[in-house]
Structure formats: structure tokens, C-alpha cells
Structure 1
Amino acid sequence: MIIDIGNKKIKINNDTLIPIYDYRQIRPNDCEAGGMLIGSIIRNSNDIVIEDLTLPIKEDIRSRVKYVRSEKHNELLEQKWIESQYTKMYFGEWHTHPQNNPFPSSQDIINWMNLMKKSKTEAEILVFLIAGNSSFKVWIGDRKRKTIHQIYGGDYSEFKMVR
């Protein structure tokens, strides 16, 4: 999937979307899931490729309507940073909602604003993805302007969710 936002393109690999799709909250007792979005900046361009992620781990806080990512994800990110010879970095967050058509809660917006201020990354923008049961949406946070806006919304049918 490629999202053109004017001065740059954001590509999210299908291999990154598949595990997110698998964590959808289909059953009534499924808890929210989430993690980090990890990628690279393409040389000689402003383009971004999100090609990796972290998955929920036991240290995370998860309930039907709440997900809090543990600090342990930072260790996983550091490992991916080193293994990639310092090219894969933090680009944002993903999590699920138990809705068909997801939208951010007020707590999501507060968390995203905090991440834009505090995140240690070379990225000028952060990407936030919420996966609902039948569709998902993507927002970007502009770290300089301190703004967040939706850049994509669609259902899963246009992607091959094949393992």
C-alpha cells in the first residue's frame, strides 16, 4: 500500500499489515493489541517504507478497550535498529479497536501527541494505524506543526492477507 501525501510517499508493506489484520478483535472477548511501526527513510527522497513492527507481548496492558505498550518494545526496536545496520527506525504505533470502522479515542489523540513530542527518531512525521474489524485507518502526526490528520481509510479487501 502506498499513500501519497504530497511531498512524500508512505509505503506500508503487506507483510506488515498481515499480523495487524490477524489481531483484529473479532470475538467479544478479544483484547486490544498493538505495537510499534518500524521502517526506513528511502535515500535521496522523503519517502518512507514501513516494513516491520512489534507485536503484543506479555508485559503490555491489554483489555477489550485499552492497550498500553510496555517499554520492552523499545528493546525490540533497538535490536531491529542494530540488525538492520542502523536503517530501521521507529515510525509510529498501531493498535486495534473492537469496531468495524475505527476512529481514535480522546486518549489515543493524547498518546499520539505525547509520542510526537517525546519519541527519539529521525522521522519528521509519525504514523498511527488503528485496525478495526472490517477496515483500518492511518493518520500522520507532523512533529513540527504538532498536528494529526487522517491520510487513509479503507477495508482489507484491497490487500492480499495471505500467509
Structure 2
Amino acid sequence: MPGLPSLVVAIGGQQVRLDLSVLTTFRHFRQTGNRPEACGILLGLQWADRWEITEATPPQLTDQRSFLYFLRERKGHIDMAMRRWEESQGLIGYLGEWHTHPESRARPSRKDIESAAKIARTNASSILSIVVGDPECTMLMFDSFGNLSASTPFRVLP
């Protein structure tokens, strides 16, 4: 929403705006102590040179989560994505994935990169993947062929 606090991250020659609600979700689910990994999908709008992430779905009861593992189940997340798509008359859509790591400088694992690449190839569209740390996160951008096209660290301030 224009006018609300947000964070803009420059990546791969593009601008990605994360709305306040997205930052709040990331802060809430940061992996501190013995908390399990959290995961969800990124929803929003995409233009030629910029993205706006308007929502990061929270973990669902059906997701499998432990300290070093997660499996995001489709149920719940897809329902939310479809609702937002319908409510926005097709403007709000799927932009990618997010999950946490129990690290101060969160970096994607090889499995994280392979999973996101597969999603981009399957959807035949560019996607973002965000690994949330405490306090440093990493944003990755994949092209529609599943190639990692850019990566950049950013901070979600407390």
C-alpha cells in the first residue's frame, strides 16, 4: 500500500518493495532459540522492472516444521493465494517462496536453490526466494528457466 512503511531491495537491476505486513511476518517468525523453521509463499504484483510483495503467508498447521527442516504443504497457502487473486481481480499473484534459517546471516542451502529453481521452471515465470535470518536475510531471483539470476543480502530491522 502506498504511503505505508516498507523496505525496498535492489536486486538484478530491479526494485523489490516489501510491504510492512511482510516485514512483520518475517520478524514474527524469525528463528530464535529452538523455534522450528517457518515457511510460506510471497504474494503481490510484478511489473517489468519492479516487484511489490504485499503478503507473506504465515506457516500453516499442515506444514511440516522442525529446527532444520520444513515442508510447505500446498493446502492453506494456495487457498490464500487464490483468495487474494480473486479479491484483486487477478492483480495479486504468486511471486515466490520464503522460509527461515537459524542463522544471523541467512544464506540459502543448495537444496533451497534447487527447489526454487524447480518452481521457476515449472511455473515458467521469474520468482523470488527469501531466506530469513536474524537479522540478515538473503533475497534470490530466478528467471523463468530456473536460473539463479541475482542474489543480495538485506536486513529486516527489529
TM-score by length of 1: 0.84
CA deviation after TM superposition for structure 1 residue 105, in Å: 1.1
User: Quick check: 2:30–2:132 contact (8 Å CA) kept in 1?
Assistant: yes
Q: Which residue of 2 aligns with 1:60?
A: 63
Shift of 1:147: 2.5
Which residue, out of 89, 92, 115, partners 1:85?
A: 89
What residue in structure 2 maps to residue 9 of structure 1?
15
Q: Structure 2 regions of 5+ residues with no counterpart?
A: 1-6
Q: Distance in 1 between matches of 2:113 and 2:154?
A: 20
- The letter for the 2-side match of 1:23 is F
Unaligned runs of 5+ in 1: none
The partner residue of 1:97 within 70, 81, 101 is 101
1:110-131 Cα distance to aligned partner (Å, 9 max, x none):
11111111137xxx42111111
Q: CA deviation at 1:92?
A: 0.4
Change (3 A) 1:62 1:144: same
Q: Measured at CA, do residues 71 and 27 of structure 1 come closer, stay the same or move farther in structure 2, by a change above 3 Å? A: same
Q: Pick the aligned partner of 1:24 from 25, 30, 40.
A: 30
Question: Alpha-carbon deviations, 1:62-91, whole Å to 9, x = none?
Answer: 010111110111122111110111110000
2:132 corresponds in structure 1 to 131
Q: Could you say what secondary structure the match of 1:101 adopts?
A: coil
The structure-2 alpha-carbon separation of the partners of 1:85 and 1:104, relative to structure 1 and needing over 3 Å to count, comes to same
Q: What's the offset of the Cα at 1:7?
A: 4.9
Equivalent AA in structure 1 for residue 23 of structure 2: L
Distance in 1, matches of 2:148 and 2:25, equals 28
Question: In 1, distance between residues paired with 2:46 and 2:101?
Answer: 28
Which amino acid is the alignment partner of residue 66 of structure 1? Answer: Y
- Structure 1 residue 4, shift from structure 2 partner: 3.1
Q: Secondary structure at the match of 2:115?
A: helix
CA distance in 1, matches of 2:110, 2:44: 27
The equivalent residue for 1:141 is 142
What percent identity do the matched residue pairs reach? 25
The root-mean-square deviation of aligned C-alpha atoms, in Å, is 1.9
Deviation at 1:41, TM superposition (A): 2.5
CA distance in 1, matches of 2:21, 2:87: 18
1:116 matched to which residue of 2? 120
- Alignment coverage as a number of residue pairs: 151
Give TM-score scaled by structure 2 length.
0.86
For residue 32 of structure 2, give the secondary structure of its aligned residue in structure 1.
coil
Q: In structure 1, what residue type is equivalent to 2:46?
A: I
Give the structure 1 partner of residue 154 of structure 2: 154
